[in-house]
Structure 1
Amino acid sequence: MKTIYFVRHGESQSNVMRVFTSSPGGFPLTERGKEQAKRTSEFFLGLRDVAFFSSNIIRAIQTAEIIAEPHGKKVVQVEDFAELDTGCLEGKKNSEETDGYYQHILQQWIEGRSEVSFDGGENHLTALERTKRGIGEVISSDNNGVSVIVSHGGIMTMTIPFLCGNVDPETFYSDGKNRFIDNCAICELRVNGNNPGLSLEMVSWARTDHLPGDLKYAIYRKKKEI
């Protein structure tokens, strides 16, 4: 049995600007995002034999490097943990129209229509396959201890619950709250078996109790969304 922690990256410039983006370059962490990452690093201080991974996108890399620094470890980039490819939404600002389209696609996936894709982007099958492949790469690495993976809100919320055998996605998303997780929220998973026969179990979802109140919530979101 192996423990994996998925962490959403800290607040980024794209978050503040409310822009959809999955491109590797640009949109680094804000100062607030860096502070969130520093506080998150404290959560993992007591761990031994820990390895650190991130997507290949700058905001995730920066977050992972800050978290890994006290351990003196390098961060391994895994492209499969990149944010959802939302195709036609890339570079567009969040608005009633763009968010409506985004939520519509997510709802299709929740209802089991995994072949539905973002126009010019990926479908749910692709997102699930690459996330599982990335997890397989992590557990197949030389590290036998705990793994910390810094990824993104969209890909985490739309893959992890579907890959965990102890979670019913329809129930999980029923109240709408679990479609968003805050910056530097932590999800703990247990992994049984080896790739390709790995079995995942969700232990906790989107914890933010390691963050003080002024860093806990996404200040760039509308109050009604928090």
Structure 2
Amino acid sequence: MSPAEAAAPSPSPPLLAVEGVTKRFAGVTALSDVSLEVRPGEILGLLGENGAGKSTLLKILSGVMPPSSGRIIFDGVEFNPHNPQDAKRLGIVTIYQELSLIPTLTVAENIFIGRAPLGPLGLVSWRKMEEDSRTIIARVGLNIDPATPVSALSVAEQQLVEIARALSLKSRLIIMDEPTSALTETEVQKLMSIMGRLRKDGVAIMFVTHRLEEASAICDRMTVLRDGRLA
């Protein structure tokens, strides 16, 4: 080993390790022996055409379905979620291409839906909800009133609210499913800037896309799926 190699820092252990994961549906193999790793503060690109197996892997990681075989290690512990809430409790949050915000609710209500802060009498503390929301949305560069209805926001702003909600859950790994599909070039650049900021904060991101040029611009490493296998 050369002196330079000896002095080089060893890579941090993976936050997420997918080891030989296979998923079968009624005789059809959607994923076959897939392995990958994501480290803290890293953006991993997951690329592949439609039908490559990306959505199946996302559903497994987010607790929607179990793998047929293989295992998943998260923060050094085997990870067997029974539902998406199990994944969220550990800090794995998935933002799907079809945003899950409720248009008639405010930004603050969407961020803290089902988890509203309570006051001394056990009632919802609207002031604290808006204050906490203001702090969180500032992290994603969104300068809006938390009392704004989501229906009044652009698609790009709604996506940032989704990311803000993920951060409010103390996410350690955010999985973004085709996040740029409905964005303009300017909005894509802003999203990538936010992703870079989250990386500096130590948040791991899995960026799922079929656009190689975008993945090349922001990702530290890339994994490519083809027909359910690592390409």
Q: Answer whether TM exceeds 0.5 for this pair.
A: no
- Give the TM-score normalised by structure 2: 0.31
Higher helix content, 1 or 2: 1
- Give the TM-score normalised by structure 1: 0.32
